[in-house]
A and B are shown apart, each in its own frame.
Chain A
Amino acid sequence: MKIMLVDDSRTIRNIQKNVLKQLGYEDIVEAEDGVIALAKFAETSPDLCLVDWNMPNMDGITLIRKIRETNKTVPLIMCTTEAEKTRVIEAIKAGVNNYIVKPFTVESLGEKINQTLSKAGAGA
């Protein structure tokens, strides 16, 4: 199970990485913006992506749309400070499977990841 973390904050990626390791996921790919993420997505074919919204070079919503042009099934979770209903709807329309609003607790992040993976029929 390979998981890609896309966030311009290394602190957030480290927090997410620690949660994933506690859940038993060790194979982690990191990207600090949408452009790098798109290239790494093609190279590494992750089984799940956690994507921030506001990032330099290419934002998360654009990344989600670009991934969905070629891959309709990979589970995508938006993890962002954008909490308004209109943003959540926009993300769902773009193709996300789940949505986590920052600030988040470690427990809620773990729950959303497990929930998304079990809906997609996969596990650690």
Chain B
Amino acid sequence: MNVRFINPFIASICNTLETMCATKVTIGKPSLKGDNDGSTDVSGVIGFSGDAAGSLVLHFSFDVASAIASKFAGCEITQDHEDFSDAIGELANMVAGAAKAQFEGLNVSISLPNVVVGKGHNVTSSKGEKRVIIPCETEVGNFMVEVGMIIKKASESRQAVAATGA
């Protein structure tokens, strides 16, 4: 996990929730994901590809997911509402898109969102790369943002060569 990616995700989480959900987010200390971290009820997942690759996962309990989805949609969205997954997926999409815009010098694309719903599930990376958990606190409850990103180098190495005049 390249640490240059952490701040763009923190900024995009705060901005997206404040703008779309009128919800202020207090960010806790990011830490590397351990084997027992990340058990959750609702996960919004977005993949990144291109000059940098990886994924973003928003992890919520059912209660917090419902509260945030309701604030986002402007009406009550319980976990059995037909738009529940759609709302969580779109929030993940916005967080990913706003973060991606801050990856300077990297040409990165995002996938369409996927949402996993199930009590106490775990989302794992098949590649076994180190991932970071960013704890988020709001007035409607806490949630976690999980990020794992690696640089594929193409544009960045070209830029570095250009900058040094090599």
Check if B39 is an interface residue, CB within 8 A of chain A: no
Q: Look across to chain B and name the residue whose beta carbon is closest to the beta carbon of A105.
A: B19
Do A10 and B86 touch across chains, with their CB atoms under 8 A apart?
Answer: yes
CA distance A86 to B107 in the complex (A): 10
Report yes or no: B19 in contact with A18, Cβ–Cβ below 8 A.
no
Q: How far is it, in angstroms, between the C-alpha of A12 and the C-alpha of B20 when the chains are bound? A: 10
Could you count the A-B residue pairs with CB atoms below 8 Å apart for me: how many are there? 60
> Does A84 lie within 8 Å of B73, measured CB to CB?
no
From residue A18, how far is it (CB to closest CB) to chain B in Å?
Answer: 7
Interface centre among B20, B87, B93, B97 (most CB of A within 10 A): B97
Does residue A83 face the partner (Cβ distance < 8 Å to B)? yes
Q: Which of B19, B86, B100, B110 contacts A9 (CB 8 A)?
A: B86
B104's closest neighbor in chain A, by CB?
A84
A contact residues, total (Cβ < 8 Å): 22
- How far, in Å, is B15 (CB) from chain A's closest CB? 6
Q: Is the interface of B mostly helix, strand, loop or mixed?
A: helix
Q: How far is the CA of A38 from the CA of B101 in the complex (A)?
A: 28
Asked whether, in the complex, the Cβ of B83 is within 8 Å of the Cβ of A10, the reply is: yes
Measured CA separation A14–B93 after assembly (Å)? 17
Contact of A18 (CB < 8 Å), options: B15, B74, B87, B96:
B74
Give, as a whole number of angstroms, the nearest-CB distance from A83 to chain B: 4
Among A56, A81, A103, point to the contact of B19 (Cβ < 8 A). A103
Q: Which of B81-106 contact A (CB under 8 A)?
A: 83, 86-87, 89-90, 93-94, 96-98, 100-101
Residues of A in contact with B (beta carbons under 8 Å apart): 8-12, 14-15, 18, 54-56, 80-84, 86, 101-105
- Beyond the given pairs A81-B94, A83-B97, 11 more chain A to chain B contacts, judged by CB atoms under 8 angstroms and listed by A's residue number, are A8-B112, A10-B86, A15-B74, A56-B112, A81-B100, A81-B110, A83-B101, A84-B100, A84-B101, A101-B98, A103-B20
Top-4 shortest CB links A-B: A81-B97, A83-B101, A103-B19, A9-B90
